[in-house]
Amino acid sequence: MDRVVVGITGASGSIYGKRLVEVLVANSYRVDLIFSETGRRVFEFETGVSVDKFVNSLPKDLVNLYRPDDLFAPPSSGSHQVKGAVVIPCSAGTLGHIASGSTVNLIHRAVDVNLKEGRPVILVFRETPINRIHAENILRVIDSGVTVLPASPGFYSKPKGVMELVDFIVERALRLLLKKEFGLIRNWGAP
């Protein structure tokens, strides 16, 4: 079972989700991909690529695209075996739904299911600055077992471009989710 749920929401930073999916499929992981309604619009605006074109560019046997309103889809069930879930980028609204246990769409439900099954959940929160409500919601989800990974790339590797900054966050998210390295970044102190 090398399957991961990936949610892409309406926060800016769609490139993180796009790159994470590309790295997963390049490493033969199956991806259950869910875009929120706004996530789809932001993805297309920021990347200049339609969601359909992006998904069609990926191996069909490795990626299943689900509608956010399809609560009968496999990721809504605990019996659907996956390694865990990552929401990248994670909007403040999605964070709030997860923190309150309110499952309005399939992304919220998939996260809820993975938490109840004791699987890793990573939220790549992409909001700045944060307010008190965000901070309280972050604490609530952390207390529930979620790992919150702010989209705050490191600069110690002296990145030469935006994609190296993106890879920093993607590598960190994948390490937390799958407990292995993907070689996208140079570790601190490495030659």
Domains annotated on the chain, with CATH? 3-178 (3.40.50.1950)
In what order do the strands lie in the sheet containing 121-125?
63-66, 30-35, 3-8, 85-90, 121-125, 147-148
- Give the model's confidence band at 1: pLDDT under 50 very low, under 70 low, under 90 confident, else very high: low
pLDDT of the residue at 191 = 64
Nearest of 14, 88, 89 to residue 47 by alpha carbon:
14
Question: Is 77 labeled as ligand-binding?
Answer: no
Question: Is 175 labeled as ligand-binding?
Answer: no
Question: Is 19 labeled as ligand-binding?
Answer: no
Question: Is 26 labeled as ligand-binding?
Answer: no
Question: Is 103 labeled as ligand-binding?
Answer: no
Cα–Cα distance, 59 to 38 (Å, whole number): 25
Question: Is 91 labeled as ligand-binding?
Answer: yes
The single-letter code of the amino acid at 64 is N
Question: Is 99 labeled as ligand-binding?
Answer: no
On the question of pLDDT at 188 being above 90, the answer is no
What token pair was written down for 117?
């099954």
| Residue 6 contacts residue 34 (beta carbons within 8 Å) | yes
Quick check: pTM over 0.75? yes
pLDDT of the residue at 190 = 67
pLDDT of the residue at 139 = 98
Question: Is 172 labeled as ligand-binding?
Answer: yes
Question: Is 94 labeled as ligand-binding?
Answer: yes
Question: Is 118 labeled as ligand-binding?
Answer: no
| Residue 153 contacts residue 169 (beta carbons within 8 Å) | yes
Show the CA angle centred on residue 41, arms to residues 23 and 103, nearest 5°.
80
Question: Is 9 labeled as ligand-binding?
Answer: no
**Helix, strand, coil percentages, rounded to 5, for the chain:** 45, 15, 40
The mean predicted confidence, pLDDT, of the chain is 96
